[in-house]
Structure 1
C-alpha cells in the first residue's frame, strides 16, 4: 500500500495531491470571497449571485488584468464561470489532481 500526501482547502473542501495547486486554489477562493464581499457591500445583490460573480472574476483574473491593461477584447474570451480556454486547461489539470487524489 502506498501513502499519498493530500492537501485540503478549508474554504471549499477541495482535495489536492499537489501542494502548489492547493495553495493556488486557496488564493483564488480567497479572492473570490473578497470580491463577493465587495459586491455585497456596494450593491443590493443576492448572496449566491455575488459568490458566482466573485468566482467568475477570480477564475479569470489573468485575462481581466490583460483587458484592463489595454486589451478589452479579451473579456469576450471569458465564456462561463468555468473560465476562458486558457484557464480551462489549468482547471482540468487541477481537477485531475483532485480526481486522482480521491480515487486513491
Structure 2
C-alpha cells in the first residue's frame, strides 16, 4: 500500500497534493473572509451569501484589484483571463487530491 501525502485546508476542507498550493488557497480564503466581514460591517442590508460571493471574487482577483488601485482602474473591466491561464497554470481545483475510501 502506498502512502500519499496530502495537505488539507482548514477553512473549507479542500485537499492539495503540495503544501504551497494548500497555503495559497488558505490565504485566499482568509482574505475573502476578511473582505466579507468588511463589506458586512459597512454595507447595510447585504445578505451573508452575497457578501461571501463578493469577498471570494475580490480575493480571487486580488492581483488585478491591486493593479487597479495603483493607477490602472481599466484593468477591472477587462475580461477574466482564467481560461488562458488555466492552460499555463493548474488551478486550485486541478491540484485538489481526491481521496478514495477503502483503497
Give the shorter-chain TM-score range.
0.7 to 0.9
For normalisation by structure 2, the TM-score amounts to: 0.83
SS in 2 for 1:10: coil
Cα distance in 1 between the residues matched to 2:32 and 2:17? 22
Cα distance in 2 between the residues matched to 1:91 and 1:11? 23
Distance 1:49 1:91, change over 3 A: farther
1:94 paired residue number:
92
Bigger radius of gyration? 2
The structure with more helix, counted as a fraction of residues = 1
Cα distance in 2 between the residues matched to 1:29 and 1:77? 23
For normalisation by structure 1, the TM-score amounts to: 0.82
Which structure 2 residue ranges, 5 or more long, are not aligned? none
- Over the aligned positions, Cα root-mean-square deviation in angstroms equals 2.1
Which structure 1 residue ranges, 5 or more long, are not aligned? 79-83
After the TM superposition, which of the residue ranges 2-11 and 48-57 deviates more from structure 2?
2-11
1:62 paired residue number:
63
2:43 paired residue number:
43
